[in-house]
Amino acid sequence: MSSGAGRAVLVTGASRGIGAAIAQAFAAAGDRVAVHHARSERAGEAVAAGLPGGGHVVVQADLADAGQVRACVDTAAERLGGLDVLVNNAGIFVAHPPLTTTYEQWQQVWAQTLSVNLVGAANATFCALPHLLTRGGGAVVNVSSRGAFRGEPDCPAYGASKAGLNALGQSLAVALAPHGITVGTVAPGFVQTDMAREVLDGPGGDGVRAQSPFGRVARPDEVASAVLWLASPGARFASGTIIDVNGASYLRS
């Protein structure tokens, strides 16, 4: 496993929000980053151009398409000169309250959410393994959610997909440890991003902030710090862990 700075890192969903902050954190540590986007090429290029250091690249894939996932991972590894770290950050959140959603909408949202949030991450990890093994090991970090534990009543597919991602990470942590590959998970609560702005700036924003005794939600860089640590050599024996980054807004035993 490569140690310290100068690693090759692929971050999915890195064209904005948490993913962009994660890319920034790795680049600031001296790593080369592949900024993945699904359909936001201009935003991805802007993120990559703003990263410190050099050698950063932009890659594209619809994570619901297994073929595109494989091509994206292989392209990232080729353009970065290998792969040391994979961060499965990309995810979608589509509301589908069970009592007001049609059956057709229900089916569509469940299929779409699981294909991106869970199966897409599983496929990206599978495709990254040959590259990580070539380096003698590496790290996979998954970005989950507080909703995997607390529940997501208006978006149950999202909560279920993140609970599945937690289980995937723990299963792979056991399977891959003998090969020098660590797998960790970060589970944020609400984060101050463009995606959450409508809620946080709306009438329910104060209630969301009050969920934490800090009286605020997380900053993207706080989530990124946890991801960066889990991918570090110093966190090797924390493989399999899930770190909550929710400001004590939800505590689990």
What pLDDT sits at residue 4? 46
What pLDDT sits at residue 1? 46
CB 83 within 8 A of CB 59: no
- Residue 236 inside a domain? The answer is yes
Whichever domain contains 95, its CATH number is 3.40.50.720
Domain of 96, in residue numbers = 8-245
Look up 158 and say whether it is catalytic.
yes
What pLDDT sits at residue 5? 59
Query: 6 vs 23, 33, 52, 84, CA distance in Å?
Result: 13, 10, 12, 10
- pLDDT tens digits, one per residue of 195-248: 788 889 999 999 999 999 999 999 999 999 999 999 999 999 999 999 999 999
Domain count, the chain: 1
Question: Which pTM was predicted?
Answer: 0.96
CB proximity list for 186: less than 8 A, separation 6 or greater: 141, 142, 143, 144, 223, 226, 227, 230, 242, 243, 245
- Residue 17 inside a domain? The answer is yes
Catalytic option among 26, 93, 158, 190: 158
What pLDDT sits at residue 197? 86
Bridge partner residues of 88 (DSSP): 142
- Residue 145 inside a domain? The answer is yes
What pLDDT sits at residue 158? 98
What pLDDT sits at residue 86? 99
- pLDDT tens digits, one per residue of 63-98: 999 999 999 999 999 999 999 999 999 999 999 999
CB 206 within 8 A of CB 200: no
- pLDDT tens digits, one per residue of 84-139: 999 999 999 999 999 999 999 999 999 999 999 999 999 999 999 999 999 999 99
- Residue 228 inside a domain? The answer is yes
- Residue 53 inside a domain? The answer is yes
- Residue 188 inside a domain? The answer is yes
CB 72 within 8 A of CB 64: no
The mean predicted confidence, pLDDT, of the chain is 96
Place of tokens 């929000």: 17
Q: pLDDT-derived band of residue 3, with 50, 70 and 90 as boundaries? A: very low
- pLDDT tens digits, one per residue of 31-49: 999 999 999 999 999 999 9
- pLDDT tens digits, one per residue of 156-171: 999 999 999 999 999 9
3-state secondary structure 89-154: CCCCCCCCCCCCCCHHHHHHHHHHHHHHHHHHHHHHHHHHHHHHHHCCCEEEEEECCCHHHHCCCC
What pLDDT sits at residue 194? 84
